[in-house]
Amino acid sequence: MNDSLYSLADIAPTISRILSIPMVVPDGNVINELEDYAIEHDCKRVVLIIADSLGFALYRRFEDIMPAADSLARHGLLLECSSVDRHTSPCIASILTGYLPESHHVHSTQDIYRVRAKDPASPKIKTILEWADDAGLNSAVVIESEGAETFRGRINELHGIPNTDDIADYDKRATGSAIGALGKDPDLLAVHLRSIDRYAHCSLHGRELEEALRNTDANISRIVECAGKGTLFLICGDHTIHGWEKWKPKAADEEIRNHEKNIVALIAGCK
C-alpha cells in the first residue's frame, strides 16, 4: 500500500474530476480508485469532512468506537494518505487547493491575503470550492470564522464558526451549520471538525481523546443522515496528532512509523 501512497494534495483534483469542475492542474493527482468508486456509485455531490488530527493509525486503533466512519469505510474505501505538514493551516490549504505548501505558501490564514496581494489570480491558492463556484456549481464551507472570511465574495455559502474553548460546542455548531448548508443542496460542502486535535494536546489514551473521537463520529453521523442519496463523503485527517511525546511510549511500532511518516486516514463512502 505504501508504494501507492496518496497525498492530501490529491483530494482537490480528485473532486475536480468527480464533479467535472475545471481547474488548473495542481501538484496533486487524481486518485483513480476514488474516481472509479464515485462513478460506480453514481455520486452527484461531495461532502468533505476534515477531521483534524485523524491519523491513519489513530483511526485504526479507534475505528470500533467510530461506527459512522467505520460504516462508510467498510462499504467504501479506507486509504492511507500522506500529509504535507505538521500544522493545520498549510494542510487544509493543500487539501482545498491541490498544491503542496512549497507551492501555495500558506502557513497561516493571513498568508492567504498576503499571497493573493502578490498575485490575485494565482491558481495556487484557489480552492476547489472556488473552482466549483466558477463552474456554476454551488459550494459551501464551514470553518473557523477567520478562515471563512477568506471565502467572502468567492463562494455563495460561507459559515464561520467563532473560536471557543469549548471545542465540543464548536464542533456541534459546525455540524449544525453543515446540516443547514445541506438544506440548500450544495454540489460541494467542506467542513472542518476540530475536537480530536484539541483533546490530543491535553490527553492521550485517556478518556478525553476517546470522547473526542466518539463526538467527531457522532457529528459525522448527523451530517451523513442529512445528506441526500448520491452523496460521496470524504473524511480525512490533516496531520497526525500533536502531543506525540505523550503517545510515543505507549505506541506500537506501526503507530510510530505512521507518525514519523505523517500518514492520515482518508475514508470515502457513498450514501
| Region of 109-117, 136-144, 166-174, 236-244 interacting with Zn ion (CB under 5 A) | 236-244
- Residue 63 vs 238, nearer CB to Zn ion: 238
DSSP-assigned beta bridge partners for residue 141? 158, 190
Query: Rule CB under 5 A: which of 102-141 touch Zn ion?
Result: none
Single-letter amino acid, residue 133: D
Find the shortest distance in angstroms from Cβ 53 to Zn ion.
6
The nearer residue to Zn ion, 80 or 197, going by C-beta atoms, is 197
How many chain residues bind Zn ion (CB under 5 A)? 4
Burial 52-80 (b: 16+ CB within 10 A, else e): bbbbbbbbebbbeebebbbbbbeebbbbb
Say if CB 141 and CB 158 are below 8 A apart: yes
Tell me which stretch binds Zn ion (CB under 5 A): 31-39, 217-225, 235-243, 251-259. 235-243
Of 47-66, which residues contact Zn ion (CB under 5 A)?
52
Closest CB 193 distance from Zn ion, rounded Å:
10
Restricting to residues 172-211, which ones interact with Zn ion according to CB under 5 A? 197
Contact between 238 and Zn ion per CB under 5 A: yes
Angle (deg, nearest 10), helices 11-18 and 32-40: 30
Contact 47, 122 (CB under 8 A): no
**CA–CA dist 126, 96 (Å, integer):** 8
- In angstroms, what is the minimal distance from the CB of 197 to Zn ion? 5
Is residue 14 within the footprint of Zn ion (CB under 5 A)?
no
Give the chain's radius of gyration (CA, Å): 17
85 binds Zn ion (CB under 5 A): no
Nearer to Zn ion, 10 or 52 (CB): 52
d(CA 244, CA 251): 10
**Residue 7 lies near Zn ion (rule: CB under 5 A):** no
Q: How far apart are CA 140 and CA 119, in angstroms?
A: 24
| 36 close to 76: Cβ distance less than 8 angstroms | no
Q: How far is the CB of 88 from Zn ion (least distance, A)?
A: 3
Beta-carbon neighbour count of residue 225 at 10 Å?
Answer: 11
Q: 220 near 235, Cβ under 8 Å? A: yes
Least gap, CB of 27 to Zn ion (angstroms): 20
Q: Does the footprint of Zn ion cover residue 88 (CB under 5 A)?
A: yes
Q: Which is nearer to Zn ion, 143 or 270 (CB)?
A: 143
- Choose the stretch contacting Zn ion; rule: CB under 5 A; options: 55-63, 83-91, 183-191, 246-254: 83-91
Q: Which three cell numbers stand for residue 264?
A: 492520515
Instruction: Enumerate binding residues for Zn ion (CB under 5 A).
Output: 52, 88, 197, 238
